[in-house]
């Protein structure tokens, strides 16, 4: 048992604890009386046998016999004495060896362990708690969000209704509070009025209840709610949600933008004043096979390649980095720079568009959104779907199993420039990715991952791009918390901005070690003079500067650990 003051205070304040201690004291008193009576009888029986012993010896003999440690140096010689010894022995077995441990465990040890456990999973946060994020459910999205909040040292608390589940989460490092998400008292106890954000990421109906409950207590705290159904947007906003996040919609639009046959232009990911961060697949363009120096992108268009995404691996580019067929270029520049770039290179994607349809495997919410985006742009596509009841426009559907070669042949697998695998089951996505890659080594394959742990497996199976539903949702929530509008380029790649840490003030980029130590790249610096795109590496970093960086999740974590120590 850990005797820390917080646990002792919690233990002693409970009414049940006081009642249990009274019961334990009564038992100990009864045991003390019994030991005293036996010690007195011991003296009388010993005197009858002609033996004289002290009172201390009497208590010594009684306790050794009751605890079954005797007999030794003191024994009775008469039958009456031996009979008395047997009674003391049996009584000791019952009271000391059975009832005492049971009573101690029931009335003291077990309540103490429970008090210690409840301190780990409290029902109330300290009064000085503020600026924390309240999370109302534990699922893949909030798991990824908790990891991101931890990396950025932002306090949070997860509401869990089941006490045992709360302890299990605490044991793996999650900060929890026990309570019901539809109970106003729960939010009072966890200081909702001082929270930075409430995250409702459960079913639409539960999220609506959460929004109403929180708004009953506080009208100003921001609430972000996820929505599975597009019809829930208005309902959640009427309930009090500050922002409604349709992750399936974002996931579908993002996958459509990355697909050959999707968005022909460079896909803008984030805006920072006049700086635009965009991605552009090199597939089908004359850039394939060239190094960055040979491409002349900076000289001809004013855009700078700040990263290359290559089948699940993000690289900070060098002058001799070669652009492959599967490469996705991460570009930084102004709107005019990207427009000039699109004027030349978007043409090659348009030519690809007009030839053959992209395959969309699965007609769920994500697949339907991808199809909708293709339809808006006039891009040819075919949806492979098992369930004929989901068909919308038969001209764009092939009914059958994507694992059946006959179904794929009817979908023109030998000519399709790309395939997007969108089922909600990661095992199925991995299986189909591996199968399609074996059939078409030259095809662009994009896949959805529902759990972060399956992202690397999908890349090994042959996917060119993978987007995790969990990471996408977590990043969107985190960006809302930080009042940013940036999105992930692909799974694991982030664009983030941060006030210049004290450790970097006065140093220039060339000698800062940012790229070598963290695998992140500074794409712009904003200070009192404005935004400097692709800044001079020899210019010192000012104290009021804001760095705009690009890097992987691990790179962002390294940057925070290296330059913003706790």
pLDDT band at 111 (very low <50, low <70, confident <90, very high): low
Range in 261-265, 452-456, 458-462 the model is least confident about: 261-265
Distance CA 297, CA 148 (A): 34
Instruction: Give domain limits for the chain.
Output: 5-119, 133-245, 252-469, 492-563
pLDDT at 149 over 80: yes
pLDDT score for 243: 93
Q: Which CATH superfamily is domain 252-469 in?
A: NAD(P)-binding Rossmann-like Domain (3.40.50.720)
Distance CA 366, CA 249 (A): 7
Tokens of 428: 């199925």
pLDDT at 122 over 60: yes
| 3-state SS, residue 44 | helix
Range in 384-388, 389-393, 457-461, 497-501 the model is least confident about: 389-393
pLDDT score for 2: 45
Distance CA 206, CA 54 (A): 74
pLDDT at 438 over 90: yes
pLDDT score for 260: 63
Cβ count near 254 (within 10 Å): 26
- Mean pLDDT of all residues in 361-388: 87
pLDDT digits (tens, 9 = 90+) for 192-231: 999 999 999 999 999 999 999 999 999 999 999 999 888 8
Distance CA 349, CA 309 (A): 18
How would you class 419 by CB atoms within 10 Å of its CB: exposed for 0-12, middle for 13-18, buried for 19 or more? Answer: buried
pLDDT score for 449: 92
Please determine whether the domains at 5-119 and 133-245 fall in the same fold group of CATH: no
pLDDT digits (tens, 9 = 90+) for 57-90: 888 888 888 887 766 678 888 888 888 888 888 8
pLDDT band at 422 (very low <50, low <70, confident <90, very high): very high
pLDDT score for 350: 56
pLDDT score for 141: 93
- Mean pLDDT of all residues in 324-338: 84
Range among 141-145, 349-353, 453-457 with highest mean pLDDT value? 141-145
556 against 312, higher pLDDT: 556
Domain 492-563 has CATH 3.90.550.10: no
427 against 491, higher pLDDT: 427
pLDDT at 267 over 70: yes
pLDDT at 312 over 60: no
pLDDT score for 202: 94
Fold of 133-245: Rossmann fold (3.40.50)
Tokens of 166: 């709360």
Residue percentage of the chain with pLDDT more than 90: 27
- Mean pLDDT of all residues in 21-39: 83
pLDDT band at 189 (very low <50, low <70, confident <90, very high): very high
pLDDT score for 209: 96
pLDDT band at 11 (very low <50, low <70, confident <90, very high): very low
Q: Give Cβ neighbours of residue 404 (< 8 Å, ≥ 6 apart).
A: none
Q: Give Cβ neighbours of residue 72 (< 8 Å, ≥ 6 apart).
A: 64
pLDDT band at 1 (very low <50, low <70, confident <90, very high): very low
Residue percentage of the chain with pLDDT more than 70: 88
Q: Are 309 and 327 in contact (CB under 8 A)?
A: yes
pLDDT at 131 over 90: yes
pLDDT score for 253: 83
- What CATH class does 5-119 carry? mainly alpha
pLDDT at 157 over 90: yes
How would you class 251 by CB atoms within 10 Å of its CB: exposed for 0-12, middle for 13-18, buried for 19 or more? Answer: buried
Tokens of 441: 């080594």
| Verdict on whether the full-model pTM lies above 0.75 | no
pLDDT at 353 over 70: no
245 against 250, higher pLDDT: 245
pLDDT score for 456: 86
pLDDT score for 383: 93
Range among 63-77, 291-305, 338-352 with highest mean pLDDT value? 291-305
For the chain, the straight-line distance linking the first and the last C-alpha, in angstroms and rounded, comes to 30
Distance CA 341, CA 55 (A): 103
Distance CA 521, CA 555 (A): 9
pLDDT score for 238: 95
Q: What are phi and psi of 537, to 5 degrees?
A: -65, -10
pLDDT score for 352: 52
pLDDT at 133 over 90: yes
pLDDT band at 48 (very low <50, low <70, confident <90, very high): confident
């Amino acid at each position: 048992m850990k005797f820390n003051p917080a646990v002792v205070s919690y233990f002693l304040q409970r009414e049940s604890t006081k009642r249990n201690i009274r019961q334990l004291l009564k038992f100990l008193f009864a045991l003390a009386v019994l030991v005293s009576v036996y010690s007195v009888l011991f003296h009388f029986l010993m005197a009858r046998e002609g033996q004289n012993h002290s009172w201390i010896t009497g208590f010594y003999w009684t306790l050794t016999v009751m605890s079954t440690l005797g007999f030794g140096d003191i024994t009775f010689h008469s039958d009456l004495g031996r009979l008395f010894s047997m009674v003391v022995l049996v009584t000791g077995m019952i009271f000391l060896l059975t009832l005492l441990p049971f009573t101690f465990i029931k009335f003291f040890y077990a309540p103490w362990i429970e008090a210690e456990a409840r301190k780990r999973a409290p029902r109330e946060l300290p009064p000085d708690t503020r600026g924390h994020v309240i999370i109302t459910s534990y699922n893949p999205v909030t798991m990824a969000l908790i990891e991101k909040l931890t990396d950025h040292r932002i306090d949070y608390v997860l509401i869990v209704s089941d006490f045992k589940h709360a302890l299990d989460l605490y044991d793996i490092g999650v900060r929890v509070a026990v309570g019901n998400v539809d109970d106003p008292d729960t939010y009072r106890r966890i200081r909702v009025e001082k929270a930075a954000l409430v995250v409702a990421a459960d079913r639409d109906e539960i999220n609506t209840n959460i929004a109403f409950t929180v708004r009953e207590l506080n009208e100003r705290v921001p609430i972000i709610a996820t929505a599975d159904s597009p019809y829930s947007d208005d309902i959640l906003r009427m309930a009090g949600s500050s922002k409604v996040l349709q992750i399936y919609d974002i996931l579908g639009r993002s996958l459509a933008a990355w697909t050959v046959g999707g968005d022909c232009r460079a896909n803008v990911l984030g805006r920072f004043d006049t700086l635009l961060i965009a991605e552009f697949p090199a597939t089908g363009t004359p850039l394939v096979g060239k190094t960055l120096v040979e491409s002349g992108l900076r000289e001809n268009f004013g855009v700078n390649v700040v990263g290359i995404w290559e089948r699940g691996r993000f690289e900070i580019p060098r002058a001799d980095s070669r652009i492959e067929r599967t490469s996705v270029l991460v570009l930084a520049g102004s709107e005019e720079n990207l427009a000039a770039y699109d004027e030349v290179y978007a043409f090659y994607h348009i030519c690809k568009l007009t030839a053959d349809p992209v395959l969309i495997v699965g007609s769920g919410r994500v697949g339907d959104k991808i199809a909708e985006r293709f339809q808006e742009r006039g891009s040819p596509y075919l949806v492979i779907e098992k369930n004929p009841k989901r068909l919308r426009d038969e001209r764009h559907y092939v009914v059958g199993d994507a694992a059946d070669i006959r179904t794929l042949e009817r979908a023109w697998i030998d000519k399709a420039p790309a395939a997007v695998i969108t089922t909600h089951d990661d095992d199925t996505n991995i299986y189909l990715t591996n199968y399609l890659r074996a059939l078409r080594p030259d095809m662009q394959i994009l896949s959805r991952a529902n759990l972060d742990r399956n992202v690397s497996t999908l890349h090994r199976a042959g996917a060119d791009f993978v987007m995790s539903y969990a990471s996408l949702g977590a990043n969107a929530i985190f960006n809302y918390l930080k009042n940013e509008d940036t999105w992930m380029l692909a799974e694991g790649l982030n664009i983030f901005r941060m006030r210049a840490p004290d450790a970097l003030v006065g140093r220039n980029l060339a000698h800062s070690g940012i790229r070598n130590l963290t695998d992140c790249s500074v794409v712009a610096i904003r200070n009192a003079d404005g935004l400097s795109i692709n800044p001079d590496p020899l210019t010192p970093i000012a104290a009021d500067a804001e760095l705009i960086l690009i890097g992987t999740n691990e790179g962002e974590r390294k940057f925070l650990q290296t330059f913003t120590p706790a």
